[in-house]
Amino acid sequence: MTKVFIAAKIPDKAYNTLTHAGIDVQVYAGSGLIQKAALRTAVTDIDVLITALSTQVDQEIIDAAPKLKLIANYGAGFNNIDAAYARTKNIAVTNTPFVSTDSTAELTVGLILAVSRRIVAGDQLMQTQGFDGWAPLFFLGYQVSGKTLGIIGMGQIGQGVAKRMRGFGMHILYYQRQPLAPELEKELGATYTDFDNLIQTADYVTIHVPLVPATKHLINAATFKQMKSSSFFINAARGPIVDEKALAQAIKAKEIAGAALDVYEHEPDVEPELKHLPNVVLEPHIGNATIEARDAMAAIVADNTIAIAQNKQPKYIVN
């Protein structure tokens, strides 16, 4: 019988599907994130490890699991797993792509609107001392309509953001290594440009690229110095793509107008200087935190586990 360990609490859909298929399922029952020692003990006699994006699966964990055939990451990313080392052990690593597209695109739109219209700060004001009433110059923000949105990385999520923000009357610029097909550019109302022009031109810059060695600190002190002082920076991709200390310094020096983040360079820790700034919105990595997306992710990891149990190839192998 195939044995599975689920290292984090995920939707019941996965557990129910697996048990119905006759698979022996063990689930981490502790509170909070599983600690490395507990994970190392749990994997010693399992065939499949289902783990969350927040849990590191390094060589030590992989070596502790001699029967392991699959690491099914519950997340679109997989930088928490030593996928290259897993490959040397003939262990497949899978992720859950595509199903998070709409949820993450919607969250990005929410971040743009929140930081533009000071929605979070307004809520905090009303939850505390309140206000004296409407006034012509009170709590001014910025409208997005007519402004330029610069999208770095025009994959599925970047395209999802473009579709939505075009509806707000924004002009769309984008940059990635290769331009999209002309017909898709036309559909999105998006114009391809180089990195420097996007950074210098856009009123809002949002990144949607994967975290690989070439994209670590892609956005840094030099980048912020090129941006307009009235521009906003958005990150709902991966934290280490951005030099957070440089971002905090750029905001404090008024090199840019503000930022909205859902991911962090040293997650779950946040650069202390970013906290308590009135023109910064911070969210706790909730990009795909919708019932619909998380259920779809649960279905993928369950189906891939069943594939392994039936000696079939799972979907979305990343190594």
DSSP string covering 128-149: TT--S---TTTT-----TT-EE
Which residues, in sequence order, are bridge partners of residue 3? 24
Contacts of residue 224, Cβ cutoff 8 Å, sequence gap at least 6: 233, 246, 247, 249, 250, 255, 256
Report whether 119 contacts 139 (CB < 8 A): no
267 in catalytic set: yes
What is the dihedral angle through the alpha carbons of 241, 7, 82, 40, rounded to the nearest 10 degrees?
130
Sign of CA dihedral 124, 127, 130, 134: positive
The residue count of the chain comes to 319
Q: Which of 118, 208, 238, 294 is catalytic?
A: 238
Q: Are 293 and 285 in contact (CB under 8 A)?
A: no
Question: Is 276 part of the annotated catalytic residue set?
Answer: no
Return the closest-CA partner of residue 198 out of 261, 151, 233.
151
Residue of 216, 97, 78 lying closest to 155 (CA atoms) = 97
- 255 catalytic, yes or no? no
Within 13 Å of residue 222, how many CA atoms lie on the same side as its CB?
4
Query: Per the residue annotation, which of 185, 267, 273, 283 is the catalytic one?
Result: 267
The set of catalytic residues is 238, 267, 285
